[in-house]
Structure 1
Amino acid sequence: MRAEKPSSTAPLPPRERLLQESMRLFGERGFDAVTTREICAAAGVNPGAIHYHFGDKDGLYREVLRLPVVDLQQQLAGFDDPGLSLHESIRRFLQPFLFDDGACSAQMFFREMQAPSPIFMETVAQEVGPLFDRFARLLAQHAGLAEPTAAIHQLAMGLQAMAHDYSMTRPMLDAFHPELLADDPLLEQTCHRLADWGCALVAYEREKHEAPRPASHR
């Protein structure tokens, strides 16, 4: 997940400078290690600017976290369109989690995943949780289920975790087997393969659901 910087060379408004510098500093050092005074100095604004635009440091951080989530929501728009195949839906859902371009937002989210803050958990629950619920419902539908089961929810999270792990541990994988992803710099082929595996796992859940139950012995 990433928030793109504007391409214009015109100076950014104070609010945007605060968001940009906050994301950079929070990504580099974490929420607790960065002071509001440092943020304002880096953004070139007066010390009261955070209070004026965001209320307090928590409000600023909440907005900084929200920006890459909005970007993710845009990237995932239409992934569960009924006209798409299961394979294409899974591929579209996993693609944004696969590629880490080194943006500050990626560093910030990686820090949060290691030691999540209450603000992060609140943002994820409210903004990202519904996306996973939609993904789980999609998988359940293709597995022949009216509603997602615990296994389907675990499958949804597991597929995303595999995609995200490829991104986060790419340097380690390249060190172990540099040839594996040499021809797949943006992990597009890997995403296709993960969608293959996702389809196979959904088929497994369907077969398990449709298998006749053994007769009970009286």
Structure 2
Amino acid sequence: MPAPRPPSAAVDAPLPPRERLLLEAMRLFGERGVDAVPTREICAAAGVNPGAIHYHFGDKDGLYAEVLRQPVQELKAQLEGFDDPALSLHESICRFLRPFLFEDDGCHGLLFFREMQAPSTVFMQTVAQEVGPLFDRFARLLARHAGLDEPTPALHQLAMGLQTMAHDYSMSRPLLNAFHPELLADDPQLEKTCVRLADWGCALVAYERERHAQPR
């Protein structure tokens, strides 16, 4: 029998400096906020020289933009195909809302919660460029099912409102457990909640369809 091969050195190889910077920046930004963390501390935590951020990202804003890019790209991948015309309205709404019904008490969740309280310029630029078009597509999907060529302000509000309800269910888990623990007891992944939100969304789209069909 041949002798066992030694373990590959790649298994225990440390992450490249760029990846270590991203991981430590995400952790520190989530724990204390972007403005409270100096670049030297990030470099020290990542075990790289103080000039590494400038070399890899240009400056602190460039580093933060890249930190935000990963969860945004993951979100975009999860939302792929949500507005496929072959899907029912209910399934499309479920596919759009499901990624926002998460349980994340890690760095991503902490960082997002901080940004909701005091949005930074980098965060708002990233959201406007990367996430804004997804909400426009969602509003156009609702408009299509309401029999309209373009979304009205009411349908843009509905698109934002449905996402906000989904996200608030996730961010408010401690309150849900305190006020009505039964809401999560048999729905830990919030799948039933997702279906219920889609039910409400379909009802409101039907209302908009009927409202615009009435003679003026």
Does 2:157 correspond to 1:147?
no
Counterpart position of 1:32: 35
Give SS of 1:148's match: coil
- 1:9 Cα offset (Å): 4.8
Give SS of 2:68's match: helix
The correspondence of residues 19-168 of structure 1 with structure 2, limited to 5 A, is 19-168=22-171
Question: 1:78-97 CA distances to partner (integer Å, 9 max, x unpaired)?
Answer: 00011100000000000011
The TM-score normalised by the length of structure 2 is 0.93
Percent identity between matched residues is 81
1:9, 1:127 → 2: CA distance?
35
Question: 1:73-114 CA distances to partner (integer Å, 9 max, x unpaired)?
Answer: 000000001110000000000001111222311211111111
Query: CA RMSD of the aligned region, Å?
Result: 0.9
What letter corresponds to residue 55 of structure 1 in structure 2?
G
1:108, 1:70 → 2: CA distance?
16
What letter corresponds to residue 177 of structure 1 in structure 2?
H
What letter corresponds to residue 158 of structure 2 in structure 1?
L
Give SS of 1:190's match: helix
2:103, 2:114 → 1: CA distance?
14
What letter corresponds to residue 196 of structure 2 in structure 1?
R
Unaligned segments of structure 1, at least 5 residues: 1-7, 214-218
Counterpart position of 2:7: none
What letter corresponds to residue 145 of structure 2 in structure 1?
H
Between the two proteins, the alignment pairs up a number of residues equal to 206
Counterpart position of 1:194: 197
Question: 1:27-57 CA distances to partner (integer Å, 9 max, x unpaired)?
Answer: 1110100000110011111111000000010
1:10, 1:188 → 2: CA distance?
39
What letter corresponds to residue 200 of structure 1 in structure 2?
A
